[in-house]
Each structure stands twice: as C-alpha cells, then as structure tokens.
Copies of this chain bind each other. A is one copy, B any other.
C-alpha cells in the first residue's frame, strides 16, 4: 500500500482551479490553509460514520461524495455560496484503489459546485469522514434559523422521505430504484438557497427529519406552528416527516412573498406549540432523528 503522503497526493489538487474565485490564498500542503476574502466566512462540520450515516457496502465514490454533500447542505441552508472544504478521513482500508475511488467521488462534488479542497487529515481507524465546509454570502444576507415570524408560511421544495426510501431500497438490493441517488448522492440545495435567500425569513436543512428540524427553527424563533399534514408531499407514508437524510431546505416566507414554486406545509404561529392538522386522520408524534 502507498504511504500516507502518497495517498494525500490523490486529494491534494482537487478544486485547485477554483482557488482564486474562492479566496483561497494557500490550499493543502502547509500547516494550515489560508483564506483572504473581504466578506464574512461561514463554516460547518459534518461527520459521516460507517453503518450510521452510510452503509458499509456503499461505493467509495458515493461515500466521498456524500460526506461532502451533507456538509454543503448547511451552506445551502444559510443561503450562501460554498467556496471550499476540508476532508478528514479515518479508514481501516489498506487498498490504494479504494482511496482513488474515494478521491473520485470527492472530485465529483468539487467540480459540481466549483469548490476547492483546502486541507484534511488521513489516519488509520474505523471508517469515519468529517467534511468541513466554508462559504460566503452571495450578497449581504445570510439565512438564519431564529428569524421566523408569526404569519410566515412554512415551505419545503420537494417530497420528504425520498432518502428513507432510497436507503430501504439499498438494503433490499433494489438496484434500479430511482431513490438510491437521493440517499447515496444527496443534492446539496445550493441553488435553492441562493434563490430563497432573497425572500425567506428563516431556513434549516432537513437532515434529522422534517418535523424535528422545523422544530429547531420554531424554538429558536420563539414561535409555534400549524402544520397541514395533508399538504406535506410524501414518498412512502406520513412517517416520512420523521425520517432523516433528505437534505431539503425547510424555510419560512412572509405571506406576501410566497410563490407556488414551493410546497406550503404550514404557518408560523405566535404561541409556542406545534399543532398538526389532518383531515386524513394522521396521528403523528413529533420526533426527529437522534444519534443517541
């Protein structure tokens, strides 16, 4: 097997062609990377642990792509432009080919979003990836979680539960399922964030489940909500609203700025309760995905 330093070479130049536009003064290879931007920098980290966040038999390409995608989703939720990422990989694998394929998946997403890999760490250990992402506002505004207002509409952009279905289909080796990609290569909704930043009042990405994540917006905004269960687009059944990994954006919009490009699933209220309304007789307990 190649040395640690040779393996790092596989990743070293990913996205180097975008350094300049991304404000990257120094990429990987020194003790730190250096950004030089005149605008604020936003950053987040997401762990991807084998058998928790992705199945152990996923392809290395998908593992690499997915680890970065789920972190980029946090940049999308702030309505910002992604500029760069770091990737820390702990792996027990001793086969060079596996690392080459991992790097291919990472390169796929770097090219898709024109972002630069600026650093990382490579160690032996149980399979565990940490993607650190960096972004900057498109213009001045950054979407937050704590700024929803009573009366705002609550929106999502696509049916919930697609990733859950994808994971189930993967487990059932249904290789032709249209949902596999939703789970294995989730689309970071950067374009959506870029659009809605202009009129949304608050936003979060739905990684832990639609209701759980919406709950965070409401808690931080000190509001409640009426949720029209019958209006939530689902994939399998109503429990989709408690299933994680969709990486859609859930956002609130002042009534007068709402348009029909999105699914309206409820309204923000001034009391601090979440009320679920259904004429179909749905009975739902609010719970999101918890890692413990």
Point out residues on A near B: beta carbons under 8 Å.
Answer: 1-5, 7, 25-26, 29-38, 40-47, 49-50, 52-53, 74-75, 77-78, 80, 86, 88, 90, 94, 118-126, 128, 130, 132-135, 142, 144-146, 203-205, 220, 290-292
Q: Is the pair A47, B130 in contact by a Cβ cutoff of 8 Å?
A: yes
Assembly stoichiometry (copies):
2
Chain B: minimal CB distance from A13 (Å): 15
Chain B minimum-CB-distance residue to A79: B31
List residues of chain B with CB within 8 A of the CB of A128: 90, 125-126, 128
Which of B43, B123, B205 is A47 in contact with, Cβ under 8 Å?
B123
Most buried by B among A33, A45, A49, A120: A45
- Known contacts A30-B144, A32-B135, A204-B31; is A45 also within 8 Å of B120 by CB? yes
**In the complex, given contacts A32-B133, A35-B43, A43-B86, what are 9 additional A-B residue pairs having Cβ atoms less than 8 angstroms apart?**
A25-B40, A29-B145, A30-B145, A30-B146, A33-B42, A45-B120, A49-B123, A122-B292, A123-B291
Alpha-carbon distance between A126 and B94 when the two chains are bound, in angstroms:
19
| Known contacts A32-B75, A47-B121; A88/B130 CB under 8 A | yes
Whole-angstrom CA separation of A45 from B292 in the bound complex: 25
B123 touches A31 (CB 8 A): no
Task: List residues of chain B with CB within 8 A of the CB of A220.
Answer: 29-30
Contact A144 B26 (CB under 8 A): yes
Q: How far is the CB of A129 from chain B (nearest CB, A)?
A: 9
Considering the complex of A and B, which 6 residue pairs feature the smallest CB-CB distances, nearest first? A49-B125, A126-B126, A32-B42, A31-B77, A31-B74, A32-B44
